[in-house]
Chains A and B, each alone.
Chain A
């Protein structure tokens, strides 16, 4: 029974992975991006999807505080909340914490699609910009 559930979970994960292929490879590129920001190859991607460095750092801090992670735990842009030991309720709490820290309001649908620090940072930058543009 357990085997069946895991089996189906895996097969569920597959199509999701497939959709994420773009963003997964993006994440890889973005990691390079941080290191070699000046490289023209990744510049185009930087414009499209890289969140501001401060935002990522601030998100990391909040995530660490929210999940009460031990000192020295590495949290980077590519960190998945679930990998850091967060369950779905923790993720809700993180997003709520971020909302308050950045004075924004995240809609239900977008809030549920946030899985990594980078996701959160990108969304925050977008919302902060939209807020400033008003």
Chain B
């Protein structure tokens, strides 16, 4: 974050994805848009905080997953998105 003008390729991709989500959110109804924006923003910020910036494999995985989710969200039949909390200790 020292110099913003020198973003790496992967950082640009992440920001482009974020922009894509916000753009797509505009196409939905106002209250859904608001929900999408808060979910997406929370997700990006959470990941930005918790993932090691050198963990390229994982970041690239998240990018791919995010792109796929964005494609789904772009479908006009999809009106909104929701998240669910899974208790990690009880899974598997």
Contact = CB atoms under 8 A, between A and B. Distances in A.
Chain B contact residues, majority secondary structure? helix
Size range of the chain B interface in the assembly: 20 to 34
Contact of A113 (B5, B26, B41, B45): B5
Nearest to B16: A108
B3 A89 contact: no
Interface residues of A, number: 23
A67 to B, nearest CB: 13
Nearest to A9: B2
Contacts of A92: 15, 18-19, 22
B44 A82 contact: no
A93 interface: yes
Interface of A: 6, 9-10, 12-13, 16, 20, 81-82, 87-89, 91-93, 95-96, 100, 108, 111-113, 115
